[in-house]
Amino acid sequence: MTTVELAEHGGPVSVPLPDALGRAVGLSKIVDAVPDPFHAGRWRLQEKWGKVGVCTIAAPDGTAVTLRIVPKLPVARVLFLLGYQQSPKGWRDDEVTAAEEAELLPVLARLFERQAERALRQGLMQGYHVVEESGPVVRGRIREADQLRRHHGRLVPVETVHDEYSTDIAENRLLLAACERLCRLPQGVPGDVRRGLLRLRSRLADVSPLVRGRPLPGWRPTRLNARYHHALRLADLVLRGASVDHLPGGVTVSGFLFSMPRVFEDFLTVALREALAGRAVRCAFQDAMALDENGDITMRPDLVVYSGARSPLAVADAKYKVNKTDKALNADVYQMLAYCTRLGLADGHLVYAAGEVEAAVHRVMGTPVRVHRHALDLGRSPDELLADVRVLASLLVPS
């Protein structure tokens, strides 16, 4: 199998691929793929949409290629940003050293294996969970609707529901699902980590696997599951990033990928909420609102800060990557102008990753609206980056 390494938002790479496989790569929308105009039998592959990680793309004829997409940022910094998808206190930056791995998937797999092993060191957690079953005796409550629908008036078997105390709880099911998902990945998980994951899976053998296609079971951090917290947050990241997709035309994509624009958006909005935590405000993420009176045009700003129930104070939108053209920058300003007009605000804030655009203020003619462009340097240390976010929060909502 061919393996191709690409850089996030890097230049095109020319590789020999059969035409069917080249078309499959293009259909996947993971990277841009076009025939190389200068070399027959070769395709030019280029990452354009901010996806990082590893995946295998298989064409209908059985040929396949593995893509390794390396992020622009150091892996430790990407993990720091990923932690904000779940909690600003996800895990310490020093738990993964640069000497161990240079790619995102091996680091995340190793970190999950460590945290899950620590979580299970004292044994599997137990708790109550709802069990629906059919049997000859009544345990708990009878599910009358199911009894009538399935058995048409017969007395047995009886459809019942009851609470059971066991290890078959959401927390253990999520850890098992993450173990299985990582073990099924064809490449990218180091051998010693895979062996550790297999040992963890055997310890979770009595736990029910998740049903494919159904939503993940919910969990919330409590004092009782405190030792599971880090492992569960990592499990959520693993289950969100790893997938198998069957696309039209018989194309299959399996692997482990993250969208860096989404990672940046999650980091920015959660970090701003934490920076504003001491103030009497409410932060809303992706708050849906109509632009027109008929409600035909809807908008979802990344972050709206409210004072009280529905009194808007500030609006911000995250922009991880922008093509440095007038049209692209104009579209961002138009979008923010619409947000400010709808919310009745004089100031709107566009926040870019540093290096994309320079900080600036656009005063919109004929209106009181000012659109502020900010740049966050994601390469700075976590403490420095969070200090920059606190400065940004004070600009959004002055003391």
> Where is the domain boundary, 53, 69, 85?
69
- pLDDT score of 103: 74
Note whether 14 and 160 are same-domain residues: no
> Within a domain: residue 223?
yes
Q: Is residue 173 part of a domain?
A: no
Q: Indicate whether 140 belongs to any domain.
A: yes
- H or E, element range at 77: helix 75-82
Q: Burial-class residue 234 by CB neighbours within 10 Å (0-12, 13-18, 19+).
A: buried
CATH number at residue 341: 3.40.1350
**Residue 118 lies inside a defined structural domain of this protein:** yes
The answer as to whether 380 is a domain residue is yes
Q: Which of 162, 155, 156, 157 is nearest to 139 (CA)?
A: 162
Do 78 and 162 belong together in one domain?
Answer: no
Whether residues 185 and 57 share a domain: the answer is no
The tens place of each residue's pLDDT in the chain, 399 residues long, gives 789 999 998 999 999 999 999 999 999 889 999 999 999 999 999 998 889 988 899 999 889 999 999 998 888 888 888 888 655 444 433 344 433 456 788 888 888 999 999 999 999 999 887 777 787 777 777 777 877 778 776 777 878 776 777 898 999 999 999 999 998 887 778 899 999 999 999 999 999 898 877 788 888 889 989 999 989 988 888 888 877 676 777 888 888 888 999 999 999 999 999 999 988 899 999 999 999 999 999 999 999 999 977 799 999 999 987 655 556 678 899 999 999 999 999 999 999 987 767 788 999 999 999 999 999 999 888 899 999 999 999 999 997
The string of pLDDT tens digits covering residues 265-311 is: 999 999 999 999 988 899 999 999 999 999 999 999 999 999 977 79
Q: Are residues 53 and 81 in the same domain?
A: no
Same domain as 97, residue 230: yes
Interhelix angle for 229-241 vs 170-184, to 10°?
50
User: Is 174 inside any structural domain?
Assistant: no
Q: Say whether both 303 and 392 belong to one domain.
A: yes
Residue 159 belongs to some domain of the structure = yes
Query: Are 78 and 110 in the same domain?
Result: yes
Range of the domain at 236: 73-123+179-245
345 and 392 belong to one structural domain: yes
83 shares its domain with 210: yes
- Triad 225, 227, 228: Cα angle to 5°: 65
Tens digit of each residue's pLDDT (9 = 90 or more) over 111-151: 899 999 999 999 999 988 777 778 777 777 777 787 777 87
Decide if 145 is inside a domain. yes
Residues 31 and 62 in one domain: yes
Q: Give, in degrees to the nearest 5, the angle at Cα 100 between 94 and 104.
A: 85
Task: Give the span between the Cα atoms of 314 and 349, in whole angstroms.
Answer: 8
Nearest CA to 335 among 298, 389, 365? 298
Chain-centroid distance of CA 32 in Å reads 22
pTM of the model: 0.80
Query: What is the predicted pLDDT for the residue at 23?
Result: 93
Integer Cα distance of 69 and 57 in angstroms: 13
Asked if residue 230 and residue 190 are part of one domain, the reply reads yes
Domain total of the chain: 4
Do 378 and 347 share a structural domain? yes
> Of the candidates 115, 31, 107, 30, which has an alpha carbon nearest to the alpha carbon of residue 74?
107
